[in-house]
Amino acid sequence: MSVWLEVTPLDTLFFRGNEPMEAGQLGPVSLFPPPVSVIQGAIRTAVLVERGVSFADYRQEKSVSHEILDLIGVCGGQAPFAITAILLQKGGRYYAPAPASWFIDEPEKPLSGEGFRGKQVIVAGAMPASAGRLSLVASSDSLPLVVTRHHAVSLAGAWVAVELFASGSVTFADGDIYSGSELYAVERRTGIKLDGLRKVEQGHLYSASHIRLHDDVTLLIGVDRDPGLAHTGILQLGGEQRRARYEQVTAPATVRDTGASARYVALAPVEASPENLSSVVTAYQPVMSAGWDLLKGFHKPTTTWYPAGSVFSEKIAPSCLPLTQNVRGHVVCSQYR
């Protein structure tokens, strides 16, 4: 049974990558949406807290029931549940990062969702094999191609209503698309460095970017099976021990798998690997992230992620949803032959 959590942060959220935070330097921009491992870790931690299991006992598998281990997995192992979506909810509609294969034909990019009204989406097509004589080399078997009169304006940074993914063609109407700044603010925070004894180190100030959701916006997280959470509770989400209130809600009707498709969009970051590289159609710039290994008491190895909104030719992760748009980019490929 899948579970959906509506999450309301109690303050800002901070999801950092693996960039070093050097004293006196501008810190990294918060990753958003965060890697699914961050959400899995928050859920596993919440289950332990709600069940009254100490972290020390969990590390040693001491006095921990088989039921709990079946729900969240053993310490240091992979979570037995998957994250199927990390969305934003506003006005009763659910939004995901725009697919990387979506463009509009405009002289410049609109600054707000209102500016996209009436704009038609152009979907990147595949360059035919005969274009190989152009001596183009890429990791993908077929290069995406967009042909426009003005400019192929990427929708990177925009969030679109999830139900549009199942539409044969898309022309934006009111409320269909928002810029990131219309859903959340990025706040620059300055903090201090603490030593191993939790004492302040003189002369060490750090700066980092935090995410603050607007008052009418919440997170929606999909989980493919019941991880054992209470109906309502608190998640410690991301860095700096930021907390958020969660409540289990009904699965959104607009997030539905329409069956086999030629393309899939990721509703959450997907871990990159040599095995899935050939499945990439169009992807946003990969990001790197680490994390904290509770078993070892040290940082996890760095991993690379395709951001949410990246598009694949296969359903390579549980968070991939079919895209059914008509592809327009290939219709003039004949001029390249």
| Average pLDDT score, the chain | 83
- Which residue carries 């940074």 as its tokens? 157
Q: Quick check: 255 pLDDT over 70?
A: yes
Task: Please state the rounded mean pLDDT for residues 215-237.
Answer: 96
172 Cβ neighbours under 8 A, 6+ residues apart: 113, 116, 117, 118, 119, 120, 121, 160
Task: Name the residue type at position 121.
Answer: V
> What pLDDT, on the 0 to 100 scale, is given for residue 150?
77
Residue 292 pLDDT = 63
What is the percent of the chain with per-residue pLDDT over 70, rounded to a whole number? 82
> Does the CA dihedral 193-196-199-203 come out positive or negative?
negative
pLDDT at 25 over 50: no
Predicted confidence at residue 7, as pLDDT, reads: 97
Per DSSP, 81 falls in state: S
Residue 298 inside a domain? The answer is: yes
The residue that leads in pLDDT, 111 or 22, is: 111
Of 168-172, 192-196, 250-254, the least confident: 192-196
257: pLDDT strictly greater than 70: yes
What CA–CA distance (Å, rounded) separates 15 from 205?
Answer: 19
Q: What is the band of 149 on the pLDDT scale with cuts at 50, 70, 90?
A: confident
pLDDT at site 242: 87
Please check whether residue 17 is in contact with residue 28, taking contact to mean a CB–CB distance below 8 angstroms: yes
Domain count, the chain: 1
Q: Per-residue pLDDT averaged across 243-255, rounded?
A: 94
Q: 190 pLDDT band (50/70/90 cuts)?
A: confident
Backbone dihedral angles phi then psi of residue 47, each to the nearest 5 degrees: -60, -45
Query: Which residues form the domain of 133?
Result: 3-331
For residue 244, pLDDT over 90 is answered with yes
The reply to whether 107 falls in a domain is yes
With a cut of 80, say whether residue 97 has pLDDT above it: yes
In a domain, 336, yes or no: no
Residue 266 inside a domain? The answer is: yes
Whether 332 has a pLDDT exceeding 50, the answer reads no
Mean pLDDT along residues 251-269: 89
Question: What's the length of the chain?
Answer: 337
Q: Is 140 part of any domain?
A: yes
pLDDT reading at 21 higher than 80: no
Portion of the chain with pLDDT greater than 90, in percent = 47
Judge whether 159 lies within some domain. Answer: yes
Residue 337 lies in a domain: no
Could you tell me if residue 90 is inside a domain?
A: yes
Residue 281 in this model has a pLDDT that exceeds 70: yes
